[in-house]
Structure 1
Amino acid sequence: MTKLRRTIVAPIAAAALFSAVTACGSDSDADTSSTSASTSTSTAGPSGAPNGFPGGAPGGGGLQTFTAVDLDTDGANASGANTTEVVAAATAFLATLDTSTAGKVSYDFADSESRQTWSNYPAQQVPRKGIALSELDGDAKPAAMALVKTMLSAQGYAQVQTIQQADDWLRANSASGTDSFGSDSDYYIAIYGKPSATGSFMVQFGGHHLARNYTYKGATVSITPDFTGTEPKSFTIGSTAVEPMKEKADTLFDVFDSLRDDQEAKAKLSGTIDDILMGPGVDSGKFPATQGVAVSDLSAEQRTLVLDAIAAWVNDASPGAAASLMKTYTAQLSQTHVAFANSDTVDGESTYLRIDGPRVWIELVNTRSRSTPNVHYHGVYRDKTDDYGSTNPSA
């Protein structure tokens, strides 16, 4: 069937459309009186969560929950990590900080709850661990971003920059909540454990619509949980159009565009899914039951499209680690399923797309916005056996 594809609304002049702009719809529904993500009182779980979310709406202040777990376990980490380079960049960053500032950046590796503090919400609504880029003086901010750049591929770092640019767009075009947005004030960096070529440590970087959680163990690395999103989907800087999630969205929609009617019928989930299911605070290790159409039932060309979609997320990591993970996910492709809910059109209300394998889990959703007249993207990539470098976080 023919789907309404690639019809992203042209970049808008917000002032002409809205007299007041706030945070994106599902993001701004958070309890803004929350002072710490770790003090959530919600007890919602996988079987009785509000709005159909295991653990509550993703990242939402008073709805965010935590599971007390030991994250320092033997995860199925990717090989090929550029750990030596990351250690050098982390050490150089820490060397730019005075004692007081370094104390805000550095955490004990065993501090599991802090390591689990990430969200898609603005940092003003769900406070992050670490220090905001806006608080870094002199050489410290460039050194922090050099560390982030070293952790990622060129593709992954470019996406960090465009997501931050989207937050600057919100700041410039918002009549309210301007203090919540911005590429400096809304993004934080934290380091867990002492950066070492042999021991375990983690670098955490993120803010509104971004979470990078990279856990290193010698020459290996865990690169999940990983959240990427953007509000709006498309905007302009000068005369240049920017689409932070273009490759991730395009490759996923290519998969669902390719489905025959009988395949699409198998891929469609019953019920409504309003946002990502395995978002921040959902760390039980219990993923939804596998549903959808099996990749083994797709054509060779369609299977290639699925691999391209997976690679669009995995290739944000440094090349060696990404290659290691893609080898694993490729070997498991016949056991992987793809599914969608609500709609599978690019601008569909609550369009929800999923890739679900023995290890890989990817979700992309169009969620309602209050800052533009359109929907915008939330996306998450998780590894079922290696989030935070742990084999089984729920143990």
Structure 2
Amino acid sequence: MDSSSSRTKKSLRLGAGVAVLVGLTTVGAPSSSADSSFDPSAAQARIAGADRYATAAAIALSTWDAADTVVVANGESNGIDAISASYLAGAVNAPILLTQAGTVPAATAEALAALDPSEVVVVGGESSVSASTYATLTAGRSGDRIAGTDRFDTAARIAQAAADASSAPATSVFIARGDVYGNQVAADALAVSPVAYRAGVPVLLTGADGLSASTAAALSALQPTSVVVLGGENSVSAAIAGQAAAAAGVDSTTRLQGADRTETAAAIAESGIAADAGFLDTGVGLANGYRIDALAAGPAAGEAGFPLLLTGSATTLGAGTERYLQENAATLTTAQVYGGTASVANSATRAAAVAGGNDDPAGASDVVTLAEAFAAALTDDQKTALYQEYTFANASNWSNLPNDLLGGGGGGGGTPPTGGTAPTGAPTGGTPPTGAPTSGATATATATGTATEAPTGTATGTAPGGGGTSSGRVGLQTDSLTDEQWTALETLLAAATGSGENEGYDEIVQHLAADDYLADNGGGDSYGRGNFFVAFLGTPADTGTWELQFGGHHLAVANTYTDGALAGATPSFRGIEPMTTVTLDGVTVDAEQQERAAFAAVLASLDETQKNTARLSQSFNDIVLGPGSDWAFPETASGVKGSDLDDTQRALVLAAIGKYVGDIADADAATVLAGYESELDDTYVSYAGTGNMTDIGDYVRIDGPSVWIEFSLQNGVVLEGAHPHAVWRDKTTDYGGQTS
């Protein structure tokens, strides 16, 4: 391993703007100039691929045109060897790529071919990178493997190999917790990886029970003058710190720590060792502190001279990251965001921009601008599919079913259903609830009918809730989107929906992952994120009316805009299968769990008299006002009335409503929820089933002057067990108030 590479790296100078299409995704080096605002939400700030392997490849290719040496580590599970390898990568001027144990991912193979190294260094034993995978990685190149008996021994051997390859001995050593398993993240070691790369500081690992013999031996051999412990004593105890000091032959250790992983990452960024290595206060890297998508970020951030900050979740910054950005807002100009929106959501990057002093980040631009940007990324044929007429037939042509089960096959529309006519007593597009967005549209309802406890409409098709009334979705199918186009769509959806954890955009991400899970676990090709549709009904503009429609299996987003303002965000359908928490490609799917718990809390708060009043006489195997049952609200509400609830119970009802209203953009959600709160006295709660909201047949309804929400548990379709369907409707602003 030669540390004096003559190969070139991509320029990451401040002010340079480079967008590189690498065959995996569009990635961008920081694009900034002296007079531009700090904006992590800008598309060019994000470096991401379809999965962690493609993300690592994108990171490498955004920084290196070519490399004499490439370091490869296992990217499965927690990827701890990749984090330990940052010091080695710095010593030999190399990017890090990721592989699976038994096969080389296509993204990794493509990146390796593009970088064209003369040497590949594999870290980890054959259980991490098999002999056949090693042979594939090193074919036509010289190869080397650094492996120990376990992760602690491997980290120690990496440190020694890097020290041997470096032109200067290591004077400091980092000690971090390394006993993380499954999809857990060695967050402190991840946060320090750019410093390890740039400053030439090894990262050694410890467990909770004491310093391993391998780590102690490495400390003794390296003979550092300082040992820096990462994290508080809950991570690395004082006893272990003392063992490390003794092994290294130093009097004591220093500690970089914070109240949580975001604070520890900020402490690393603010440390003297980072400053001495030339880290800048003009830029930052941003990665999820609980996911392993940024395993290869250390070399890229180290090359740029950017500290690596960690988010508290996919959608939230965390206290340490927010504080660091606020305190450095005067100098920040540039950001790199590592990983896709499932790792670092657009809501988080917008929050980062605001914390860094940018009050008008790109990601928070109005929906019209982002809709136009998405359309601009499409081909002519895709645009033809995207743009549809703004008609009630198109707007009401949504379903909760997989698209393959709908007549017409999707995309082209076919003949939509009549959608259900408005019964007597249904609104005629009149005044929205107090505080709700006002529709500029004129709506009419001419049909008559009656509705009682179980609403009945005259909609054509199958039973309400089943989705059989749709004849194929209109719009552009997502299986045609490139990674660049997906990113533009995600940015649009994030701006049009809520930023809360498990709400809005975060919930959409989980719904897409859930459908991928069904595809992989018995559902087949009818399921998966490629089977969703996006449509612009009408032309996005600040005048007139148009609708942003996005949906697929178990998901319907229907935002109607009139004269630049949200005129309605319903019908809004959510369902999920499975209802139990699962993880797919690092995305934790527990959408609808908060909603289920909120309804259960409402029902549990009722006394026996209230429960008897709230209990419906019918049984339910699905929601009532599902696809095709438009404007069929009952004339007379059933259940316990809000005015008969105490303040605590009313707060629980409002919280349950908020779980659905929170799916729309935050400012709009606050306005709509205030309107519903003003109507709580005349809002009714009813239920059927056990009331626990855990069993098949459990059903709950909130019926107010404006709000209508149903939540129902029914049999699973692909998987065993109960799964929920839910719909939020508004009696005045469904479809922006249009009834025909």
**TM bucket by the smaller chain?**
0.7 to 0.9
| Counterpart pick for 1:120 among 377, 400, 411 | 400
| Counterpart pick for 1:88 among 364, 369, 389 | 369
Which residue identity does 2:506 align to in structure 1? Answer: A
Tell me the alpha carbon deviations over residues 231-286 of structure 1, each in whole angstroms, 9 at most, x when there is no partner. Answer: 00023216875311111111111100111011000000002122101111111444
**Alignment partners' CA distance in 1, 2:726 and 2:484:** 32
Number of the residue aligned with 1:130: 475
**Alignment partners' CA distance in 2, 1:288 and 1:145:** 39
Is the aligned partner of 1:158 residue 2:506?
yes
Tell me the alpha carbon deviations over residues 121-164 of structure 1, each in whole angstroms, 9 at most, x when there is no partner. Answer: 01111221111111113522211121111100123000001111
Query: TM-score, normalised on structure 2?
Result: 0.40
**Alignment partners' CA distance in 1, 2:364 and 2:512:** 25
Tell me the alpha carbon deviations over residues 141-200 of structure 1, each in whole angstroms, 9 at most, x when there is no partner. Answer: 2111211111001230000011111111111110xx4111002x2211000111111221
* Deviation larger for 376-385 or 140-149: 140-149
| Counterpart pick for 1:178 among 503, 509, 524 | 524
Check conservation: 2:540, 2:546, Cα contact below 8 A.
yes
Runs of 4+ with deviation above 4 angstroms: 238-241
| Counterpart pick for 1:354 among 701, 707, 712 | 701
Where structure 1 has 5 or more consecutive residues not aligned to the other structure, the ranges are 1-81
**Alignment partners' CA distance in 2, 1:95 and 1:201:** 18
Check conservation: 2:613, 2:640, Cα contact below 8 A.
yes
**Alignment partners' CA distance in 1, 2:389 and 2:516:** 32
RMSD over aligned Cα atoms: 1.8
Check conservation: 2:641, 2:681, Cα contact below 8 A.
yes
**Alignment partners' CA distance in 1, 2:676 and 2:692:** 26
C-alpha change, 1:284 and 1:298, in structure 2 (3 Å) is: closer
Check conservation: 1:233, 1:243, Cα contact below 8 A.
yes
| Counterpart pick for 1:231 among 577, 584, 591 | 577
| Counterpart pick for 1:148 among 476, 485, 493 | 493
Q: Once the 2 structures are TM-superposed, how far is the Cα of residue 299 of structure 1 from its aligned partner?
A: 0.9
Tell me the alpha carbon deviations over residues 320-349 of structure 1, each in whole angstroms, 9 at most, x when there is no partner. Answer: 111111111011000000000123123222
C-alpha change, 1:241 and 1:190, in structure 2 (3 Å) is: closer
Number of the residue aligned with 1:188: 533
Q: Once the 2 structures are TM-superposed, how far is the Cα of residue 319 of structure 1 from its aligned partner?
A: 1.1
Is the aligned partner of 1:339 residue 2:682?
no
Number of the residue aligned with 1:213: 558
Secondary structure in 2 aligned to 1:381?
strand
Which residue identity does 2:510 align to in structure 1? Answer: T
**Alignment partners' CA distance in 2, 1:166 and 1:329:** 30
C-alpha change, 1:150 and 1:160, in structure 2 (3 Å) is: same
Check conservation: 1:213, 1:388, Cα contact below 8 A.
yes
Check conservation: 2:394, 2:537, Cα contact below 8 A.
no
Which residue identity does 1:231 align to in structure 2? Answer: E
Where structure 2 has 5 or more consecutive residues not aligned to the other structure, the ranges are 1-362, 407-471
**Alignment partners' CA distance in 1, 2:564 and 2:671:** 12
Number of the residue aligned with 1:168: 516
**Alignment partners' CA distance in 2, 1:244 and 1:160:** 9
Number of the residue aligned with 2:547: 202
Number of the residue aligned with 2:602: 255
**Alignment partners' CA distance in 2, 1:284 and 1:382:** 9
Is the aligned partner of 1:371 residue 2:730?
no
**Alignment partners' CA distance in 2, 1:83 and 1:276:** 34
C-alpha change, 1:333 and 1:83, in structure 2 (3 Å) is: farther
Secondary structure in 1 aligned to 2:491?
helix
Tell me the alpha carbon deviations over residues 69-118 of structure 1, each in whole angstroms, 9 at most, x when there is no partner. Answer: xxxxxxxxxxxxx9961001100011111221100000122x22111111
Which residue identity does 1:311 align to in structure 2? Answer: G
Secondary structure in 1 aligned to 2:727?
strand
Number of the residue aligned with 1:48: none
Instruction: State how many pairs are aligned.
Output: 308
Secondary structure in 2 aligned to 1:139?
helix
Aligned pairs (5 A) from 1:69-84: none
**Alignment partners' CA distance in 2, 1:96 and 1:159:** 25
C-alpha change, 1:240 and 1:324, in structure 2 (3 Å) is: closer
* Deviation larger for 282-291 or 93-102: 282-291
Identity %: 34
Number of the residue aligned with 2:127: none
